[in-house]
Amino acid sequence: DAGITQSPRHKVTETGTPVTLRCHQTENHRYMYWYRQDPGHGLRLIHYSYGVKDTDKGEVSDGYSVSRSKTEDFLLTLESATSSQTSVYFCAIRAGLGGRDTQYFGPGTRLTVL
């Protein structure tokens, strides 16, 4: 358990509304990531952060923005949600548990955009 929580765990929203998902970690890890999981695609990286206020784009960043004002929190925002953003969203941290860097995942947020 890498001390990662995500909120909310489930959300239903309507097209065009803004949505913010939160990832919270308790162990001061520098790197944090947001992925989305869709059938037939595995997991795809949306954005990641390598420190407070330091973020970069991943493979599928269009339509998403992120912010990291504190080490422990990494927020993912959908400015205007679309049905194509219906997905399960996972947050991850990079940690050196077990002697080498590895990513550890949160429990996920299931987002439905109607």
Partner 1 sequence: GNSVTQMEGPVTLSEEAFLTINCTYTATGYPSLFWYVQYPGEGLQLLLKATKADDKGSNKGFEATYRKETTSFHLEKGSVQVSDSAVYFCALSAQGGSEKLVFGKGTKLTVNP
Which residues of this protein are in contact with partner 1, per CB under 8 A? 31, 33, 40-45, 48, 50, 58, 90, 94, 100-108
CA distance 16 to 47: 21
Q: Which is nearer to partner 1, 10 or 79 (CB)?
A: 10
Q: Which is nearer to partner 1, 62 or 96 (CB)?
A: 96
Minimum separation from the CB atom of position 104 to partner 1 (A): 7
* Sequential DSSP letters for 35-85: EEEETTTEEEEEEEEEETTEEEE-TT-TTEEEEEEETTEEEEEESS--GGG
Minimum separation from the CB atom of position 19 to partner 1 (A): 20
Buried b (16+ CB within 10 A) or exposed e, 79-100: eebeeebbbebbbbbbbeeeee
Q: Which is nearer to partner 1, 53 or 98 (CB)?
A: 98
Confirm if 13 and 111 have CB atoms less than 8 A apart: yes
Minimum separation from the CB atom of position 80 to partner 1 (A): 27
Minimum separation from the CB atom of position 40 to partner 1 (A): 6
Q: Which is nearer to partner 1, 19 or 48 (CB)?
A: 48
